[in-house]
Amino acid sequence: MLALPSGALWWAAQRTLIVADLHFGKAERLARRGGALLPPYESRDTLLRLDTDISKMDALTVICLGDSFDDAEAVLGPDELSWLTRLMAGRTWIWIAGNHDPAPLDVGGTHLAQMEIEGLALRHIATGIGTEVSGHYHPKAKLAGTARPAFLIDGRHVIMPAYGTYTGGLWCTDPALLPLMGPDALAVLTGQRTIVVPVHTKTALPRKRRA
Which of 20-24, 28-32, 84-88, 179-183 holds the top average pLDDT? 84-88
- Say how far apart CA 53 and CA 5 lie, in whole Å: 10
pLDDT band at 142 (very low <50, low <70, confident <90, very high): confident
**Is it the case that residue 31 has pLDDT exceeding 60?**
no
**Is it the case that residue 126 has pLDDT exceeding 50?**
yes
Does the domain at residues 2-198 carry the CATH identifier 3.40.50?
Answer: no
Tell me what the mean pLDDT of segment 134-156 comes to: 91
Residue-wise pLDDT tens digits, 56-72: 999 999 999 998 886 55
For the chain, give every domain's residue range. 2-198
- Say how far apart CA 164 and CA 161 lie, in whole Å: 9
**Is it the case that residue 164 has pLDDT exceeding 70?**
yes
- Say how far apart CA 3 and CA 157 lie, in whole Å: 13
Residues 6 or more apart in contact with residue 83 via CB below 8 angstroms: 44, 47, 51
pTM score:
0.86
DSSP E strand boundaries for the chain: 2-3, 9-11, 16-19, 61-65, 92-96, 110-112, 115-117, 120-122, 132-134, 139-143, 146-153, 157-159, 170-171, 186-189, 195-198
pLDDT of residue 7: 96
pLDDT of residue 168: 73
Tell me what the mean pLDDT of segment 20-36 comes to: 65
187 within 8 A of 152, measured Cβ to Cβ: yes
Cα separation values, 65 from 1, 86, 142, 169, Å: 16, 20, 24, 16
Backbone angles phi, psi at 50, to 5 degrees: -65, -45
Residue-wise pLDDT tens digits, 58-109: 999 999 999 888 655 567 778 888 999 999 999 999 999 988 666 555 788 9
